[in-house]
């Protein structure tokens, strides 16, 4: 039976190994017999992630759904795929491995970006579904001023269907989701649960007021906020009916603005690498350190320094070892008054005299 391998970490999926190819872009899996061994490398991971990201991105773009993050990751994925293939044909194994790692990274980013875009698109479709319900109720009360009862209800239902059919033809969330109505039903249950909770709380408040009135008597009067809100909405709708041209223009402006800001736009955060010139380096070396906050509680052991010094004593390498020490104040910050301004210092760096002489030109 064919099998696929899913490599995960705490951050999410790292690789999907499913033996994909041009003939089987969704993967045909791995079949290993008794006593056989399959060796999978980063080249297999980058190839399989490429086919997955390419297929999912192609499906989204066919539905006219894309964002700059996905497009940029796809461009980088195609570019490093071409570079890795050229390096393989030229027999340059160093560049092949380097390009394959970048190829796998951008394929993985495109895969995650496509998933994020699917979720955002479906959530936006759900938002517009409930927004269309409020819109059709308001529009039905504006148009059906003389109709009442069943006829007004039929007008609202027809407007609701027309609105969602128009949204379905424009918004890709209705077609991308495998079952958008299940998501709508789930959210409707949550909304009805909130409504039920409101009814229970309102009944509890009414019971408390009744008991208070029985014991203390009628000594206060409360304004029914719910009735006041509904009365204000009814008066506002009546005022809107008196000015049909102004109401139509205002409603069209709201619909166009909301559609432009929510229906056809997207927002995301991405990491973009670029090159910049730093000038000539004052020395050639390697800096070994621990990132924050690990450096506060787990500094690098002195055993590493002793081991490097032992290597140097054997004259294997001619290097100079310069240990550094970081002094962090309590709370990881130190406030120092400097003239009329205040400066915040995260830590104090202590270095040897030899390193200070090497870095004198840079400082």
Tell me the helices (H) and strands (E) count for the chain, helix number first: 11, 6
Do β-strands 12-17 and 334-338 pair in parallel, antiparallel, or remain unpaired? Answer: unpaired
The SS3 of residue 30 is strand
User: In this predicted model, what pLDDT tens digit does every residue of 201-229 receive, in sequence order?
Assistant: 878 877 877 777 777 666 555 556 656 66
Nearest partner of 264 among 106, 92, 89, 128, judged by Cα: 128
Q: What is the pLDDT of residue 169?
A: 76
Gyration radius from the chain CA atoms:
33
Nearest partner of 50 among 15, 11, 83, judged by Cα: 15
Nearest partner of 265 among 257, 273, 254, judged by Cα: 257
Q: Which residue has the tokens 């890795």?
A: 84
Q: Which residues of the chain have pLDDT under 70?
A: 141-149, 178-181, 183-184, 187, 216-230, 232-234, 236-238, 240-241, 258-274, 278, 281-283, 292-293, 295-296, 308-318, 329-344, 346, 361-363
| Entry pTM | 0.56
Q: What is the pLDDT of residue 270?
A: 64
**Rounded CA separation 19/44 (Å):** 8
Q: In the structure encoding, which two tokens stand for residue 303, read together? A: 């055993």
């Amino acid at each position: 039976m064919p099998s696929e391998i899913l490599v995960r970490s705490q951050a999410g999926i790292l690789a999907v190994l499913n033996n994909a190819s041009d003939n089987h872009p969704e993967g045909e899996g791995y079949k290993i017999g008794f006593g056989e061994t399959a060796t999978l490398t980063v080249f297999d991971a980058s190839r399989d992630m490429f086919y997955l990201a390419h297929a999912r991105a192609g499906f989204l773009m066919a539905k006219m759904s894309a964002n700059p993050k996905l497009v940029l990751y796809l461009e980088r994925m195609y570019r490093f795929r071409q570079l890795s293939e050229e390096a393989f044909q030229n027999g340059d194994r160093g560049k092949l491995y380097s390009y394959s790692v970048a190829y796998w990274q951008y394929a993985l980013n495109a895969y995650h970006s496509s998933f994020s875009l699917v979720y955002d698109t479906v959530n936006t479709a759900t938002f517009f579904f409930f927004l269309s319900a409020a819109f059709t109720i308001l529009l039905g009360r504006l148009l059906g001023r003389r109709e009442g009862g069943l006829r007004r209800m039929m007008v609202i239902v027809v407007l609701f269907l027309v609105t969602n059919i128009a949204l379905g033809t424009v918004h890709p969330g209705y077609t991308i989701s495998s079952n958008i109505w299940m998501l709508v039903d789930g959210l409707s249950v949550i909304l009805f649960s909130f409504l039920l909770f409101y009814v229970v709380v309102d009944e509890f408040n009414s019971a408390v007021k009744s008991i208070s009135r029985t014991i203390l008597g009628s000594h206060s009067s409360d304004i029914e906020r719910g009735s006041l809100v509904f009365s204000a909405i009814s008066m506002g709708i009546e005022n809107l009916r008196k000015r049909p041209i102004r109401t139509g223009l205002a409603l069209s402006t709201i619909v166009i603005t909301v559609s432009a800001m929510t229906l056809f736009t997207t927002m995301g955060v991405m990491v973009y690498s670029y090159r910049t010139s730093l000038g000539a380096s004052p020395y050639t070396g390697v800096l070994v350190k621990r990132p924050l906050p690990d450096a506060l509680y787990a500094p690098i052991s002195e055993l590493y320094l002793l081991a490097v010094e032992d290597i140097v004593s054997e004259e294997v390498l001619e290097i100079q070892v310069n240990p550094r020490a970081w002094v962090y104040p309590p709370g990881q910050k130190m406030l120092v008054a400097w003239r009329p301004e205040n400066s915040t210092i995260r830590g104090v760096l202590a270095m040897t005299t030899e390193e200070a002489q090497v870095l004198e030109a840079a400082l």
